[in-house]
Structure 1
Amino acid sequence: MSKVPQKWLVVITVLLGTFTIILNNSMLNPAVPHLMEVFNADAVAAGWVITIFMVTMGVTMPVTGYLGDRFGKKQLYMAGLALFVIGSLLGSVSWDLPSLILFRGLQGIGGGMMMPTAMALIFEVFPKKERGLATGIYGIAAMMAPTIGPTLGGVIIELGSWQWLFLCNIPTGVLGLVFSQIYLKQTARASNLTFDLSGFVAVTLGVGAMLLALGRVSELAHLQDPMNISLLILGLIALMLFVKIENGKEQPLLDLSIFKVPAYTYSVLVASVSSISLFGGIFLIPLLIQGVYGYGAIITGLTFLPSALLTGIFMTVGGRILDRQGPSLIVTSGLTIIAVATMFLGFLSMETALWVIFALNAIRGIGMGLSTMPATTTGMNAIPEKFISRGSAMNNVLRQMSSALGIVFFSIYFEVRRSQIVSANGLTLPEASLQAINEGFIVMGVLAFLAVPLGILLGREYKKQAKKEQEALSGKLGD
């Protein structure tokens, strides 16, 4: 390790922890039916194993900016990873479903502390011109883990026991802690900060209620549940109150003025669209492979592997191009590739060969790799350095909510449209499922096409900022 530059050791360190967290969460998705059998629980109760992680992670993220600035980013990252490891160890010895849900909540808090902090730690050690490649490599964890996790989780459930879903986190988590202690630098602490309690209460209530409601919804009937409707209304009101509170604070929990920076706003929108496309695909493709074409879980998992591999490769390619040429070409190309490949997935038939789905999903992976992290990096570069921690926290919160919203939308759309098609056209269930899935991909493709101009706008803002920085540098040299 001594020959690896210090800054790249930071990337390796945070990638190790982040990959562990995202992989573990995605591994548990296929395990829910098995956990229902183990703990003799219904689907709603067992579903809390997934929901509680999403909620506790989401409500923790907004406060990470303050905590990182107040106590140091290294300390916050290590505390989050340690909590995640402890939650994993306790989760493996859970004696009933409520205890398992409690320990998953601990894991979520740890993950919420780590995810935004990881990006901020990378920005601390890399200059602007090198951040594209650095975040591209780091982004492999964020984009590849959700596609690999379900397959790995299924294999563990079939060949081992559910406890290994938690125990497998411990070696990599402990290794991540050792690396963090050795390779992460101490960051500056701000002692004059005041904690925005009212803003914290409002955003915790808002994000928590919204994520809780979305996590409880998987079909249209759930959306009509008075509890879910109440949670959504409560979350919306709390978030509106949060915006009002933050605009009146001298030291807000999340400084919303960063949305006045157009490049940051565009980057958040691109990240949200990418998250909807990614998780929408993760939801629809298993239904397509298993429910329509009748293949098993292993083939379903293999469908995602080429996409995951190409996403990782093209994230590094996209990062290099970003550092050299800016975001306009790379982000626009990535979004266009996602849109075109997704639209083609909307025209499948019962006779479509399996390799076609493999290929189209792989092409979508190329688009994800080219667009997501370059857009995020450009947006983060555009805001003042002092806002990096809070900008990363905001980006992660909105991405988390977009992912949940995407899954909810496409699950409800699939359920409703399939029923309508069976009733109206008299098609078989697989044929109706295929038509509903096709329409879902078309909706997803249209959304991606609508996002393409954001890449152009992001490029314009990048050029404006580069010109200002050049003029400022010339002015200093002239003095």
Structure 2
Amino acid sequence: MTESPTGAAPPPNTKLDKEVLIVAGVVVLGAIMSILDVTVVSVAQNTFQNEFGTDAAGAAWTMTGYTLSLAAVIPLSAWAAARFGTKNVFLASVVLFTLGSALCATAVNIEMLVAFRMLQGLGGGLLMPVGMMILTKAAGPARMGSVMAALGIPMLLGPICGPILGGLLIEQLSWHWIFLINLPIGIIALVYAWFVLDSEYEASRESIDVLGLLLLSPGLALFLYGISGSAEEGTFASTRVLLPAGIGLVLIVAFVVHALRTDKPLLDLRLFTNPTLRTALITMSLFAIAFFGSSLLFPQYFIGIRDEGTMMAGLLMAPQGLGAMVTMPVAGRLTDRMGPGKFVLSGITVIFAAMLTFPFIGADTSYWVIGGALFVMGLGMGLTMTPIMTSALARLTPTQVPDGSTLLNVTQQTASSIGTALFSVLLASNLTSHKESGLAILSNASEDDYDKLVQAGQAPPKIEDQWFDWAAQAFGHSFIVSCVLVAITIIPAFFLPRTRITPAEGAPPPMVH
């Protein structure tokens, strides 16, 4: 690198060249398979109940089993990449995921489908963290923001395109095709990765931390299994929730103690001494709980309150993805030059301003208003997600990146699951309380008083007509919590670097072509 006449180093080369874009294409292809599959299967829950003669709880295991496999295998990412090389692990992940997809399409009962979904999860859980490692190596620290923007696109489009694609495949073909569609994508990704990815690696971890594996993987899986049960129970105060979540939390705490005492832990928690990584993970946790948790409210509102189909609900969510696509590439590239803090703070502020629309949502709120607010939220999302991921990894050395990427993915998966559980319980509780309070008003009123309530606009002529207004209010009150959580996220985001992050010692210089 040469210096300018004034002695100052020139700005880093943040443009993604052809080689990096080709590698990014491989990783994005794998990410699309993994993320899209989660939302596609969520659309098929009623279909699974009818096809296999099971109830809602049985069909839900097609999602729960997949999530538990993800939770169990993600902690292995750093060790597997260091032991076998990122290319080999990525190829194996694609094979497992594609094989699991093919087997899912052959399932003849719900038990087989759940088992094959768990096999899918073993592959899918490694695709994202290992993909981040590959991209970080290919791009170098100076271009982390630009390359993370490419990886963030499937993370945003999956929840939007999934319901549309799933509904289309089920309605026009059959449920088998929500899995069969992964076969050509998987084969293309496999061949693509075989020729494109670098096969050189150093086996820096010959042995695995067996005790750490026995603590963290089941601990994380049990914790997520417990909190996911809150959506089914409608409360956190249930044995079904507290027992597995409590056991899982004990195992996770035991892993933390173990990891800080051993030389080569399964996951190096000493990375938390890096202030930039630590702040980024805290910001990511709060943001994922608030944003991804509250995101499940929108399709439920469209389907339950507005009586829309699954495909239409997906289409109505599209403005959010479009907004993110506008700002994400710009934020990614400018983050490399200006640092992440300014963009994260701006993005969270934009999301908060747009989200203030939804506490006031009603049973007949204009779709133009909702779509406009979702688009603005998408703009904020594009400004936020990429810079957070960039700041988490940009100050790490090449040997630290595998552990950092794994920590980032564990954090995001756990926080998203907590957010989903939190808002599921909030919505269930608010629906119950609004219905009960509304019925109490009507049941305690005499006929004359009831007529006065009708005339005053406080009660409709028919109780069933009022249900949609009560339910919409329940959604609105749930969105109040999301607004508060988004606002709290500003606190850790304030401490993210607001100038360009300088690479850590030992990090490779940016490649110039």
Q: TM-score range with shorter-chain normalisation?
A: over 0.9
Q: Deviations over 1:299-358 (max 9, x none)?
A: 311111121122233211110110121112111111111111112211223342111111
Matched, 1:444 2:457: no
Query: Residue type matched to 2:502 in 1?
Result: A
Decide whether aligned partners of structure 1 residues 368 and 287 sit closer, same or farther in structure 2, where only a CA change above 3 A counts: same
**Residue 456 of structure 1: aligned partner:** 494
- 2:291–2:486 Cα contact (<8 Å) kept: no
CA distance in 1, matches of 2:219, 2:101: 27
Question: Counterparts in 2 of 1:270-281, with a 5 A limit?
Answer: 270-281=283-294
Question: Counterparts in 2 of 1:467-478, with a 5 A limit?
Answer: none
CA distance in 1, matches of 2:83, 2:311: 46
Matched, 1:141 2:154: yes
Q: Secondary structure at the match of 2:404?
A: helix
Q: In angstroms, what is the RMSD of aligned CA positions?
A: 1.9
From 67, 72, 86, the counterpart of 2:99: 86
Query: Residue type matched to 1:128 in 2?
Result: P
**Residue 221 of structure 2: aligned partner:** 208
Q: Secondary structure at the match of 2:207?
A: coil
Query: Residue type matched to 2:215 in 1?
Result: A
CA distance in 2, matches of 1:455, 1:221: 32
**Residue 34 of structure 1: aligned partner:** 47
How far 1:382 moved relative to its partner? 1.9
Q: Deviations over 1:83-120 (max 9, x none)?
A: 00000011111111111111100100001121100000
- 2:276–2:391 Cα contact (<8 Å) kept: yes
Decide whether aligned partners of structure 1 residues 67 and 221 sit closer, same or farther in structure 2, where only a CA change above 3 A counts: same
How far 1:276 moved relative to its partner? 2.5
From 181, 188, 195, the counterpart of 2:201: 188
Matched, 1:177 2:198: no
- 2:287–2:489 Cα contact (<8 Å) kept: no
- 1:330–1:370 Cα contact (<8 Å) kept: yes
CA distance in 2, matches of 1:453, 1:459: 13
Please report the TM-score for the alignment, with normalisation by the length of structure 1.
0.93
**Residue 21 of structure 2: aligned partner:** 8
From 410, 415, 422, the counterpart of 1:409: 422
Decide whether aligned partners of structure 1 residues 183 and 4 sit closer, same or farther in structure 2, where only a CA change above 3 A counts: farther
Question: Counterparts in 2 of 1:339-378, with a 5 A limit?
Answer: 339-378=352-391
Aligned length: 466
User: Which structure would you say has the larger Rg?
Assistant: 2
- 2:69–2:118 Cα contact (<8 Å) kept: yes
Which runs of 5 or more residues in structure 2 are unaligned? 1-15, 440-458, 460-465
How far 1:192 moved relative to its partner? 5.1
Query: Residue type matched to 2:483 in 1?
Result: G
Matched, 1:239 2:252: yes
Query: Residue type matched to 1:283 in 2?
Result: L
Query: Residue type matched to 1:175 in 2?
Result: I
How far 1:454 moved relative to its partner? 2.5
Matched, 1:388 2:424: no
CA distance in 1, matches of 2:503, 2:199: 33
- 2:396–2:503 Cα contact (<8 Å) kept: no
How far 1:290 moved relative to its partner? 2.5
Decide whether aligned partners of structure 1 residues 122 and 443 sit closer, same or farther in structure 2, where only a CA change above 3 A counts: same
How far 1:297 moved relative to its partner? 2.7
Query: Residue type matched to 2:332 in 1?
Result: G
- 1:274–1:368 Cα contact (<8 Å) kept: no
Matched, 1:76 2:114: no
Decide whether aligned partners of structure 1 residues 289 and 458 sit closer, same or farther in structure 2, where only a CA change above 3 A counts: same
- 1:343–1:446 Cα contact (<8 Å) kept: no
- 1:268–1:379 Cα contact (<8 Å) kept: yes
CA distance in 2, matches of 1:351, 1:59: 43
Please report the TM-score for the alignment, with normalisation by the length of structure 2.
0.87
Decide whether aligned partners of structure 1 residues 280 and 338 sit closer, same or farther in structure 2, where only a CA change above 3 A counts: same
CA distance in 2, matches of 1:365, 1:424: 35
Moved more, 236-245 or 349-358: 349-358
- Counting aligned pairs with the same residue, the percent is 29
CA distance in 2, matches of 1:274, 1:186: 36
From 320, 325, 341, the counterpart of 1:312: 325
Query: Residue type matched to 2:172 in 1?
Result: L
Q: Secondary structure at the match of 1:458?
A: coil
Query: Residue type matched to 2:360 in 1?
Result: F
User: Runs of 4+ in structure 1 displaced over 6 angstroms?
Assistant: none
CA distance in 1, matches of 2:163, 2:503: 45
Decide whether aligned partners of structure 1 residues 330 and 4 sit closer, same or farther in structure 2, where only a CA change above 3 A counts: closer
Q: Deviations over 1:147-187 (max 9, x none)?
A: 21122111211222000010000111110001100111124
Decide whether aligned partners of structure 1 residues 187 and 112 sit closer, same or farther in structure 2, where only a CA change above 3 A counts: farther
Query: Residue type matched to 2:477 in 1?
Result: E
**Residue 257 of structure 1: aligned partner:** 270
**Residue 348 of structure 2: aligned partner:** 335
CA distance in 2, matches of 1:121, 1:191: 16
Q: Secondary structure at the match of 1:386?
A: coil
How far 1:224 moved relative to its partner? 4.1
How far 1:366 moved relative to its partner? 1.1
**Residue 466 of structure 1: aligned partner:** 502
Which runs of 5 or more residues in structure 1 are unaligned? 474-479
How far 1:274 moved relative to its partner? 3.2
Matched, 1:282 2:295: yes
CA distance in 2, matches of 1:404, 1:17: 21
Moved more, 401-410 or 450-459: 450-459
Query: Residue type matched to 1:442 in 2?
Result: I
How far 1:131 moved relative to its partner? 1.4
CA distance in 2, matches of 1:132, 1:191: 27
Q: Deviations over 1:400-459 (max 9, x none)?
A: 111111111111111111111121233722112111111111211111111113332112
How far 1:376 moved relative to its partner? 1.1
Decide whether aligned partners of structure 1 residues 217 and 187 sit closer, same or farther in structure 2, where only a CA change above 3 A counts: farther
How far 1:220 moved relative to its partner? 4.3
- 2:396–2:504 Cα contact (<8 Å) kept: no
How far 1:142 moved relative to its partner? 1.4
CA distance in 1, matches of 2:58, 2:170: 19
- 1:311–1:368 Cα contact (<8 Å) kept: yes
CA distance in 1, matches of 2:409, 2:286: 13
